[in-house]
Structure 1
């Protein structure tokens, strides 16, 4: 693994790369309130082993990237999408395969719409359909809403309390039909706590605005599209994955039958195989 700091528009983005730069580049874009470390290393290793040059990075306000004090962010969804392009520029990549999860899926869609020449292929994991589906999708679970309400009284300087909060958030995002690996989640969260410039600032993402001009334009996507979605996702319900795959001609939907809003270890082989096959077809 090689770490590289990329400077763009007055900020710094912390990135990591794996594998050979001579292989097809594959950029991993994580969701909100999460650094790049939530991309599981074994999943990254599978992609590298299949001959992909894998890059992941910390969003603003996460990990070791530029961080502002806790509060409403001084940037928008569109700025985060431009950060994705800046990472590609920092690695001198005219084009790359882009894989986005959750908010990362939204950012990946925006980049594929605003700079289609930069995206070789698009993979969206647990991603939101940007537009009107003709009905209201199910709301967030009361348990999730109640958990995030506890942020108001959380002592962000108290490591054990913060880890408890993050581990429980992961459990509530996951499927109840599978055992939740709380020990793994705690290890990742502990690493997150130690390396973050300001762990509380990651919650700035919860006040993000912008991106509305890209809504109801999914049908304009031209990059070959793979959609991967958990059947039991409690955050971005599976209907979003169905809508995404219907909106783009030739799109493929892979449903993870027992998965929630997560990258569960049981699904790593399926996810890696699907991404490798998709990017092989679109080299």
Structure 2
């Protein structure tokens, strides 16, 4: 019998009790397919892994999981500026989501600052990781180029003014696109408005992830990752220029690099086909 969710339909959002908190999760596709867990970047809820992108992956035979980090979306929030958790807790959150959904080993895709989550998972919990993918991430080495000097530093918004908050986030997304011809301001504005409206406390979203310490793996570093690894990086990325992606590829044994032409520090819709095709190959046993 064909599963009613075998062609990419979402299973609906659910709040899972994980690691002592509530995490809002949503799944797409058939649970019998290889599981792909999408870990958004700092201050990003699961909405930033677009549902259409998740559906495309599910239609290609993947069971896709996206979730709201703590302090984003509908998941547990702490007071602004006072996150009561560590980086390691965010790693354990991923494992808790896997446990709750019955996923022993997942293909984990981590974005931006939370590439560090992938590092800790890959080094300290290798049995739970079938493969790793790093999107717009970095090794953090001191000799890598700094963010573009063109990046603006907008004034923080009045968080009681939802419209001002949306403008602030859209301005940041526009800057992080790095002049990409693919930046779709209308789509980003609509996404941001939804994100702000559904959040338990967007004030916490804006600041709390940047207030936690970056834990290091207990068992080594990037060179100790054994999971097959794909590095994905936009050639227009102004926050972490392309040499960051190249350094990450070079630091992980056997890693491959996919350069997304025309993309900044994001995954705009016109590059989805390249990204999805590469991720499907990467998460297929034998790489075929």
* Residue 250 of structure 1 pairs with residue 260 of structure 2: no
Between the aligned partners of 2:167 and 2:150, the Cα distance in structure 1 is 15
* Residue 209 of structure 1 pairs with residue 216 of structure 2: no
Question: What does residue 140 of structure 1 align with?
Answer: 147
Offset at 1:215? 9.9
Between the aligned partners of 2:152 and 2:216, the Cα distance in structure 1 is 24
Between the aligned partners of 1:246 and 1:214, the Cα distance in structure 2 is 21
Are residues 115 and 212 of structure 1, via their aligned partners in 2, closer, same or farther at CA, if it must alter by over 3 Å?
Answer: closer
Question: What does residue 62 of structure 1 align with?
Answer: 72
Match of 2:189 among 186, 207, 223: 186
Pick which of 194-203 and 233-242 moved more.
233-242
**Gap runs ≥5 in structure 1:** none
Pick which of 239-248 and 94-103 moved more.
239-248
Between the aligned partners of 1:251 and 1:142, the Cα distance in structure 2 is 30
Equivalent residue of 1:75, what SS? coil
Are residues 36 and 95 of structure 1, via their aligned partners in 2, closer, same or farther at CA, if it must alter by over 3 Å?
Answer: same
Is the 1:175–1:258 contact (alpha carbons within 8 Å) kept by the matching residues of 2?
no
Question: What does residue 238 of structure 1 align with?
Answer: 242
Equivalent residue of 2:37, what SS? strand
* Residue 6 of structure 1 pairs with residue 16 of structure 2: yes
Show the 5 A alignment for 1:1-283: 1=10, 2-130=12-140, 132=141, 135-144=142-151, 146-147=153-154, 150-151=155-156, 154-203=157-206, 204-213=208-217, 217-281=221-285
Count residues in correspondence: 276
Between the aligned partners of 1:66 and 1:144, the Cα distance in structure 2 is 31
Between the aligned partners of 1:127 and 1:33, the Cα distance in structure 2 is 15
Between the aligned partners of 2:150 and 2:205, the Cα distance in structure 1 is 21
Between the aligned partners of 2:56 and 2:218, the Cα distance in structure 1 is 33
Offset at 1:84? 0.8
Measured on the aligned residues, the alpha-carbon RMSD in Å equals 1.8
Q: Structure 1, residues 86-114: CA drift from partner, whole Å, max 9, x if none?
A: 11111111111111111232211211111
TM-score between both structures, scaled by the size of structure 1: 0.92
Are residues 111 and 62 of structure 1, via their aligned partners in 2, closer, same or farther at CA, if it must alter by over 3 Å?
Answer: same
Q: Structure 1, residues 116-153: CA drift from partner, whole Å, max 9, x if none?
A: 000011111111215x3xx5222234454522xx11xx
Compare the two structures and name the one with the higher helix fraction. 1
Is the 1:72–1:208 contact (alpha carbons within 8 Å) kept by the matching residues of 2?
no
